[in-house]
Amino acid sequence: MPYIQISLAEGRSEKQIRDLIHGVTELAVSVAGAPREAVSVIVTEVPATRWATGDVTVAEKRNTQEKS
């Protein structure tokens, strides 16, 4: 049964997270033919100061974008 784990930088609304869970569940049901009740979706929000790409954290990128 599908176990889907998603990591995101913090900052999305509860509705966005709920919509993501719904959409991923629907995709697993549709594409993988999994029974809906067997699909597990885990969403982990990582603090923006703890997620970096190219040695720049998400928080730093957001701060730069806000100043622009």
In angstroms, the CA 47 to CA 59 distance is: 8
Domain count, the chain: 1
Domain of residue 23, CATH code:
3.30.429.10
Containing structural domain, residue 12 = 3-67
How many of the other CB atoms lie within 10 Å of CB of 28? 21
Active site residues: 2
The pTM for the full model equals 0.85
φ/ψ bin of 54: left (φ > 0), alpha (ψ from -120 to 50), beta (otherwise): left
13-47 residue pLDDT tens = 999 999 999 999 999 999 999 999 999 999 999 99
Q: Is the per-residue pLDDT at 5 higher than 90? A: yes
